[in-house]
Structure 1
Amino acid sequence: MSATKWLPFFFVTLVLVATFSTVAAQNRTIPVSGTNTVDREALLAIKSMINDPRGLMSSWNNSSVDFCQWQGVICGLRHQRVIALNLSSGGLLGSLSPFIGNLSFLRAIRAHNNSLSGDIPSQLGRLFRLQELRLYNNSFTGSIPDAITNCTNLQYLHVGYNNLVGKIPDRIGSLSMLSLLIVHENSLQGGIPPFIGNLTLLETVSFFNCRLGGRTPDVFQRLSNLRRYSMAGNDLVGTVPPSLYNLSSLEELYIDDNRLTGRLPTNINTTLPKIGTLSFPRNQFTGPLPPSILSSPTLLVIDVAQNNLSGKLVINPRNTCQLTRVSLSWNNFGNEEDDEMKFIDGLSICKNLDVLLLSNTQMRGFLPDSLGNLSTSLSQLDLASNAFSGSLPSSVGGLSGLTSLDVSNNQLTGTLPMTIGNLRNIRRLNLKNNSFSGSIPSSIGNLSLMIELHLGLNKLNGSIPSDLGNAKRLIELNLDRNNLTGAIPRKLFELTSLSIILNLGSNQLSGQLPTQIGNLKGLTEIILANNRLSGELPSSLGSCSSLENLNISNNFFSGSLPSSLGSLRALENVDVSHNNFTGQIPTYLETIPLASLNMSFNRFQGVVPKKGVFSNAGSVSIVGNGQLCGGVIELYLPKCSSNKRKNNLSLAVILVISIVPALLCVALVLLLFMCCRRKREVESDPPETRSGESLIQVSYEALYKATDGFSTKNLIGEGSFSSVYKGCLDDGVILAIKVLNLHRQGGSKSFISECEALRNARHRNLIKVITCCSGIDFHGNEFKAIVYEFMPNGNLDQWLHNVQNELPRLSLLQRVCIALDVAYALNYLHHHAAKTIVHCDLKPSNILLDKDLVAHVGDFGLAKILQSEYHQNRQHSSSVGIRGSIGYAAPEYGVGSKVSRSGDMYSYGILLLEMITNKKPIDAMFVEGVSLHSYAKKAMGDGSLGIIDPMLINNDGNLSKRTNKEGAIGHMNNEACLRLLLEIGVSCSMERPQYRMDTATVIQELQLIKDAILGDSNVSINFV
């Protein structure tokens, strides 16, 4: 064809190209001068909408560096276009820019594990090459954009752990390349979408905890590649469709926490030949547990707890067993057949079995000797609340890996086997409420790691073995309601670890209480009632500073109540009835904030007090003391006779003699005050404190010199009422000096509160105050300061939210150790200090770290020392206002409730959740009823750990593994630790105070977690 014939086509082509370019330019948000310019400007537009405190995107500001070299940007080799963005785990805030849709060559977007918010931009639909979209563990809101379905090459779609709402777009069913679809932990609706039946390449699908509702559609016939299916927590009803049970590729099935009904298929072993996890707890399944399930050679985890399953448990013979966890509790498997426990024989080949839970299953009969043939790695065995009879097999001593054994609330008889002393790893041993007889075996003293021992409600006799004193970690000991005799071993009172309860009540123990009882300073409850103990109460009992409940009734104690009991300010309930106590009722009982006091049937005499607990006749019992008089009228006691002689002086004369000298003294003082020209110094200890201890004076000049004139270069922190400076004394000692701002309302009160609280508190995990001082500065102004030991590693907030990226991130072990330090400090303040102290402002910035990263609780400016009226009015309103910081203050403070120890526990729970998730309670994501507590609580039931601080998680979303001292990988142990940490944080921050954990339980759980993380081969933690 000639050139002249090509000309029309040439011009037409030019017109079409020009037209297309004009239209395309109008549709683009960014002007284009070249492909590289498009991507560069799109990246800069993305950066402009993101707050980057850790500097992940700092290289994006460098115009001299090719954008393909920017951190997190991956370009293709051929066209130098952006093909992947990796912004995961960067601590990013802000929103995702619509300009991301201009990166037309993008194949992967990884922005998970951040705090991004706002809508997911619909412009993502332009990215037709996109194969991977990971936006999970952020704070995105709105709905899943329908435009995503234009990304026809999408293979991985993970938007879980956000705040998305609305219906899952039906058009996702057209994404035929999808192999992973995860939208769990959002607030979606519309039921399980039937379109998932069209995604034939799907390998993982999870709508966990979305509360979708409805029934499960029978659409799984074509999903031949599906390996993981999770629909737990969706309020599903009806039955499980047959097509789901026929997926031969399925490895994990989670349908927990629904309302599903029906029976489990009998041939599940053959229809699901690769199944590793079957998790059905908290549903309404009925019928038997098919033998094919427990007999499966591939099954790792079976959890069908809290259903209505029944019938005999059967395991068919097989050559291999992979089971690690079997949870069958709260069903009706008992059938009253002689061999109903024979299935235990079938579990003996499961060499990796770690957890076996069979409580509340209605089972009965004898416990077989084959229990001892179970795996030596078995750490938890729960057979509680059934109808088992006969003896506890001695073979149980062969389960050397046990950390928890519970056979309580059964009908077991016989003696306790000596082999129980072989359970060297046991932490919790619960044998209560059976009919065990004979003596407590001395071998129980071998259980040096035990923290709880429950042997109450049995028929045990003989003496308490002194070897029990070797259990140096014991925090709870219950031997009540047995037939134990003899004296209480003194060695038992050397267990300074006891912090929850010592219950030896309702036995036949005799002798005197040894003075060593004063060693139990951390114990909150002592029950010695209904024994034959005698003698006087040792004065050392007053050293049990954490004691809340004391019951020594129905014994033969004599003498008067020791005056040292007056120092037990934590006491709430006291029962000394039915003894032989004499003397007058101690007046110190008026000042202790008791809720109840029983002194009946003794030989007390004299005047009954009228204040404190004695002012409420319903809270005190004094019957059976024939020589008492006085008291409140409701006690119906005779009036006390008076032997005082009448005064011969008239009332008028007495008043004159008393008042005139007083007036003269006042006049003299006023005259001297008016004449005095010197500037008076402000008293260092105002009358409100009444501590009896004067403050040590340090001159203003010395502090001025130590801080180089309070220079800003030495300023290390500022608060609402103060500024903190680093100071160096002449001898080289470095201190922290907190200077109060007395011009701000509340500054002086903060000074008083902090000095008084710290004067009443001394503990290694509290900031050490060197002195509180006050005086006049160089300008004649009032000056108050508190001098502390200097903490070289700053505060916890700086380490958790390291915006300048100057500090290394805290490891899991370091965080657990810090949490333990804070718990110990709170336990001391609440239960061990001379007076009960509530901190009222627990948060990361008030947790200071020394050179070894040991935590010290500081800033007691809002602290409250509880007075006697606290326990009588704990739920009454108060006018003191909200104490604490937003996000950390207990919710009951907002409605006027008085400060309490449970308020501190709420703050502690939020603090712990912040340490685990690295999210502040005032994070932008927590709006419209969503809080850090609800965010963590919602996530607790899922198999993944998506809300955990990204620094503890790999980029693939899995938990970072660690190697223990034997070189073995400890993945599952660390995962259980993190889940338990979440549970502690959520339990401590419950909305209602009565449901929150106490410090003793927190310390116990954290110590177990710490031991497990350290790789102690003797420790195993299981999350139930």
Structure 2
Amino acid sequence: MQKLTFLDLWENQFSGAFPMSILNLSSLEILELTGNQIRGEFQAQTVVNLPRLSLLNLIGNKFSGSIPVTLLNLTNIEVIELGDNSFTGRIPQDFGKLHTLNFLGLSKNHLTGDINFISSLVNCSNLDLRWNNFTGELPESIGNLSTSLQRLALGHNPISGTIPAGITNLINLILLDISDCNITGALPPDFGKLKNLELILLSSNWLTGRIPESLGIIPRLTALYLDDNVLEGTIPPSLGNCQSLLTLNLSYNKLNGTLNSELFKGAAKFVQLDLSHNHLEGSIPLGISEQISLGYFRLSDNKFSGVIPYGLGHCVALQQLYMDGNSFHGDIPSSFASLSSLEEIDLSDNNFSGSIPAFFSKFPSLQYLNLSYNNFEGRVPTNAVFANESAIFLTGNNKLCGGISELRLPKCAENQVIKKSKRRKKSLAIKVIISTICVLLGVLTMVVGLYLTCIRDKKKHVSPDSEMGKTFLKVSYDMLLKATDSFSSDKLLGAGTFGSVFEGIVDGKTVAIKVLNLQHRGASKSFIAECNALRNIRHRNLVGIITVCSSADFQRNDFKALVYEFMPNGSLDRWLNGTRNMNLLQRVDIAIDMAHALNYLHHECETPIVHCDLKPSNILLDQDMIAHVGDFGLAKILTQPQHPNRSSTIGVRGTVGYVAPEYGLGSEASTDGDLYSYGILLLELVTGKRPTDNMFKVGYNIHTYAKAALPDQVMQIVDPSLRDSQITEEVENRRAIQDSDCQKRECIFTLVSVGVACSTHSPEHRMKIPDAISRLVAAKDNLLNATRMRQ
């Protein structure tokens, strides 16, 4: 078909090899193959003789190999879209010579090289380079790209550097995506110059400083994602003036201060608002009542207090409401009866009181209700959502009764209703007298109880602090104050839900000091759990505790801290999601170290211990890169036989992505739950992908992703830095090199298969930890033998 000019096979089921002869149809102007299953392995020098071609679209197929250099012969090309394939290698460096090129799409491939090549693409108005393995620093020359550039998408690449101030020259920019990279530094203060911006995606970086006020003057901004950074300061109230802003995600930062009412009373009508995991405080402004379009509202893990404003019930579009991990108090307002669209509610870890509103049982879409660790009282309904034990969480409310039998709550006394009815008929004077007497008796009882408790504790010495004192020398608050320069931010190593960790020097030794935030509900419980778990255990792969500090006075109230061995190489999370790379041998060693730690906790302790929160940030590396499991704040000592299928009213133990699926159904903590988390950790260790990655959706997670790659495709899913690395330096013995590469692939296969076997959905089918150790040690031995052959 030598005269063919237009070939469009868009969105069919074509498969098989790509006929290379198409690349010689010299009259072709449009080649559109989007969304098929066509394969083709291009070589760098594949001949492309299409001088009239203006559009080349191969997106969503199975093309592989390198991008042909001869694409530079396409002198009339306007659109090159090669996204969502398996292209590898570097891209031709002279793309900038294609003066007619308007759109370059290379997303979701395995391309490598320095991101600096974009400096030459001065004529493009659309650049989509996401989901590749481009490296290097974001070039300052970005500001010199065409002012007609509308879309700049560089996210999900291991690029670094800061956002150049010159980026504000790109005045027609509509989309800016530099999410999930390693970008540092502050945001340019004059972002507001980009008047046409609609989407700003800067999630999962290391951005610092304050959120620029000028963002509030971008009239078309519809979505702003700054989550998972290190931003500080207050939330600019000017964001409430963005008349088009629908989505605002500022979660997982270090933002502080109160919420200005202008954020809710301005032109912005939020649909999604996520302010969780910050240091925000104060109450929710009354202006929240004006956000009638709000569907997703998350304030989890902050320092908010006060009562829920009645006006929140005016947000009738709400589907997901998360207010857990704060200090809210009072009743659930009656206005909540209007929120019939709610699907998920989490009010746990607060100080709410009163009865559980009956109207929750009338919400047709409600599938998740967590009221744990509050002060609710009275009868629990038994219909609708309350009839599903896996949908409701009520633990930590000691005055509740009734409910379905699976909740194991005490029965409600039948005469309670009668007594309440009679009390309503009593005169006001009698009520006052009875109330006064009750208060006096309560105070007297409390005083006597506190006195008896102090005497009892002094006699029995049963507190975790005192038990620890028998083994470890306690340090004073003043010693820790001095060791950390008054808990200076310069000494801060990290912060979590229940406290912060500081670097310090005690008795001439560098240590890590975990200071509990006792204002956060559950922190004291976490301290006790960690003390109990670490009291009598010692192992080379567990973070060693040196001492505890626990004191109380009127200035500091209750102060508790744990002093640990210092781990100079930080957490595994920093290595997997930072700029530093690990070779295969280091990853295998870490996998084995973690397995030995679990084997010790589960099988070698006098009483088995379940960690309950295995994740990369809780795996710490010493100076020799030996892995140590830390943070036992959620640990559970199994003093009774395990019942893995038994339900419990306890909340889910662990972190999203790593927590075993049976915990979500209310199962008790078990060693099988740790096995699941370990399996997920192994898969993250090999693939470099977090289990909460955006690519994973309902029904498709990192386990199914890895399982689908077994047995022949494992090299396609490994961390790109691991795929390209070598175990040792190249030597001349070619056969030895081939043998070691084979053992490398075998080792990766073992890591993936063990990870999959440990993270199966069914607890009883998970690989046991001794078997995992055996397989991993054998794989390491084979890897080392192959390395020695090369040397």
Q: Which residue of 1 aligns with 2:395?
A: 480
Q: Deviations over 1:610-668 (max 9, x none)?
A: xxxxxx99799xxxxxxxxxxxxxx9xxxxxxxxxxxxxxxxxxxxxxxxxxxxxxxxx
Q: Which residue of 2 aligns with 1:401?
A: 317
The alpha carbon displacement at 1:228 in A equals 0.7
Alpha-carbon distance in 1 for matches of 2:760, 2:244: 38
- Give the match's secondary structure for 1:94: strand
Superposed counterparts of 1:678-827, under 5 Å: none
Which residue among 352, 367, 370 is the counterpart of 1:451? 367
The alpha carbon displacement at 1:435 in A equals 0.8
Q: Which residue of 2 aligns with 1:929?
A: 715
Q: Deviations over 1:180-239 (max 9, x none)?
A: 101111222221143x34434312101112121111122232411111111111111111
Change (3 A) 1:485 1:301: closer
Are the counterparts in 1 of residues 172 and 195 from structure 2 also a CA contact under 8 Å?
Answer: yes
Superposed counterparts of 1:649-688, under 5 Å: none
Superposed counterparts of 1:845-856, under 5 Å: none
The alpha carbon displacement at 1:470 in A equals 6.6
Q: Which residue of 1 aligns with 2:771?
A: none
Which residue among 19, 27, 32 is the counterpart of 1:97? 19
Match status 1:246 vs 2:169: yes
Which residue among 254, 265, 280 is the counterpart of 1:332? 254
Change (3 A) 1:287 1:451: same
Are the counterparts in 2 of residues 248 and 273 from structure 1 also a CA contact under 8 Å?
Answer: yes
Change (3 A) 1:455 1:619: same
- Give the match's secondary structure for 1:370: helix
Match status 1:363 vs 2:286: no
Change (3 A) 1:193 1:444: same
Change (3 A) 1:278 1:228: same
The alpha carbon displacement at 1:389 in A equals 0.9
The alpha carbon displacement at 1:430 in A equals 0.6
Letter in 1 for 2:263: G
Alpha-carbon distance in 1 for matches of 2:675, 2:170: 56
- Give the match's secondary structure for 1:149: helix
Match status 1:237 vs 2:160: yes
Alpha-carbon distance in 2 for matches of 1:203, 1:242: 19
Change (3 A) 1:912 1:511: farther
Change (3 A) 1:319 1:234: closer
The alpha carbon displacement at 1:464 in A equals 2.4
Which residue among 269, 272, 276 is the counterpart of 2:192? 269
- 5+ unaligned residues in a row in structure 1: which ranges? 1-37, 40-80, 494-501, 513-615, 621-634, 636-826, 832-869, 877-890, 893-905, 915-919, 936-987, 1000-1024
Which residue among 259, 269, 289 is the counterpart of 1:341? 259
- Give the match's secondary structure for 1:237: coil
Q: Deviations over 1:719-778 (max 9, x none)?
A: xxxxxxxxxxxxxxxxxxxxxxxxxxxxxxxxxxxxxxxxxxxxxxxxxxxxxxxxxxxx
Letter in 2 for 1:307: N
Match status 1:260 vs 2:176: no
Match status 1:386 vs 2:302: yes
The alpha carbon displacement at 1:352 in A equals 4.7
Alpha-carbon distance in 1 for matches of 2:18, 2:674: 48
Letter in 2 for 1:265: P
Are the counterparts in 2 of residues 989 and 996 from structure 1 also a CA contact under 8 Å?
Answer: no
Change (3 A) 1:361 1:464: same
Are the counterparts in 1 of residues 367 and 385 from structure 2 also a CA contact under 8 Å?
Answer: no
Are the counterparts in 2 of residues 188 and 210 from structure 1 also a CA contact under 8 Å?
Answer: yes
Change (3 A) 1:103 1:913: farther
Are the counterparts in 2 of residues 449 and 473 from structure 1 also a CA contact under 8 Å?
Answer: no
Change (3 A) 1:230 1:417: same
Q: Deviations over 1:524-564 (max 9, x none)?
A: xxxxxxxxxxxxxxxxxxxxxxxxxxxxxxxxxxxxxxxxx
The alpha carbon displacement at 1:480 in A equals 1.7
The alpha carbon displacement at 1:124 in A equals 5.2
Alpha-carbon distance in 2 for matches of 1:213, 1:998: 40
Match status 1:210 vs 2:132: yes
The alpha carbon displacement at 1:147 in A equals 0.3
Q: Which residue of 1 aligns with 2:29?
A: 107
Are the counterparts in 2 of residues 149 and 175 from structure 1 also a CA contact under 8 Å?
Answer: yes
Match status 1:353 vs 2:270: yes
Are the counterparts in 1 of residues 46 and 68 from structure 2 also a CA contact under 8 Å?
Answer: no
Q: Which residue of 2 aligns with 1:461?
A: 377
Q: Deviations over 1:259-304 (max 9, x none)?
A: 111111222112x110001111111111110122144221111000
Alpha-carbon distance in 2 for matches of 1:432, 1:226: 46
Q: Deviations over 1:151-206 (max 9, x none)?
A: 11111001111221111101211001111101111222221143x34434312101
Are the counterparts in 2 of residues 462 and 483 from structure 1 also a CA contact under 8 Å?
Answer: no
- Give the match's secondary structure for 1:356: strand
Alpha-carbon distance in 1 for matches of 2:222, 2:9: 35
Q: Which residue of 2 aligns with 1:417?
A: 333
Alpha-carbon distance in 1 for matches of 2:95, 2:102: 12
The alpha carbon displacement at 1:421 in A equals 2.0
Letter in 1 for 2:351: S
Q: Which residue of 2 aligns with 1:793?
A: none
Are the counterparts in 1 of residues 95 and 120 from structure 2 also a CA contact under 8 Å?
Answer: no
Match status 1:154 vs 2:77: yes
Alpha-carbon distance in 2 for matches of 1:457, 1:218: 51
- Give the match's secondary structure for 1:226: coil
Change (3 A) 1:168 1:921: same
The alpha carbon displacement at 1:384 in A equals 0.6
Match status 1:139 vs 2:139: no
Alpha-carbon distance in 2 for matches of 1:398, 1:452: 21
TM-score by length of 1: 0.42
Q: Which structure would you say has the larger Rg?
A: 1
Aligned length: 472
Alpha-carbon distance in 2 for matches of 1:420, 1:872: 39
Alpha-carbon distance in 1 for matches of 2:77, 2:324: 54
- Give the match's secondary structure for 1:257: coil
- Give the match's secondary structure for 1:169: coil
Alpha-carbon distance in 2 for matches of 1:160, 1:124: 20
Change (3 A) 1:908 1:198: closer
Alpha-carbon distance in 2 for matches of 1:321, 1:911: 38
The alpha carbon displacement at 1:256 in A equals 0.6
Letter in 2 for 1:180: F
Are the counterparts in 2 of residues 480 and 503 from structure 1 also a CA contact under 8 Å?
Answer: no
Q: Which residue of 2 aligns with 1:129?
A: 52
Alpha-carbon distance in 2 for matches of 1:434, 1:183: 47
Higher helix share: 2
- 5+ unaligned residues in a row in structure 2: which ranges? 416-604, 610-638, 640-660, 677-681, 684-696, 721-751, 764-791
Alpha-carbon distance in 2 for matches of 1:329, 1:619: 36
The alpha carbon displacement at 1:305 in A equals 0.5
Letter in 2 for 1:161: D
Alpha-carbon distance in 1 for matches of 2:140, 2:702: 45
Change (3 A) 1:174 1:445: same
Are the counterparts in 2 of residues 137 and 162 from structure 1 also a CA contact under 8 Å?
Answer: yes
Identity %: 24
Are the counterparts in 2 of residues 448 and 471 from structure 1 also a CA contact under 8 Å?
Answer: no
Letter in 2 for 1:341: L
Are the counterparts in 2 of residues 910 and 921 from structure 1 also a CA contact under 8 Å?
Answer: no
Alpha-carbon distance in 2 for matches of 1:148, 1:213: 23
212-221 vs 407-416, greater mean Cα deviation: 212-221
Q: Deviations over 1:885-934 (max 9, x none)?
A: xxxxxx99xxxxxxxxxxxxx997599989xxxxx95899x746226x99
Change (3 A) 1:128 1:619: closer
Alpha-carbon distance in 1 for matches of 2:701, 2:226: 32
Are the counterparts in 2 of residues 407 and 431 from structure 1 also a CA contact under 8 Å?
Answer: yes
Are the counterparts in 2 of residues 239 and 262 from structure 1 also a CA contact under 8 Å?
Answer: yes
Change (3 A) 1:923 1:990: closer
Are the counterparts in 2 of residues 365 and 388 from structure 1 also a CA contact under 8 Å?
Answer: yes
Change (3 A) 1:256 1:997: farther
Are the counterparts in 2 of residues 134 and 157 from structure 1 also a CA contact under 8 Å?
Answer: yes
Alpha-carbon distance in 2 for matches of 1:434, 1:397: 19
Are the counterparts in 1 of residues 123 and 146 from structure 2 also a CA contact under 8 Å?
Answer: yes
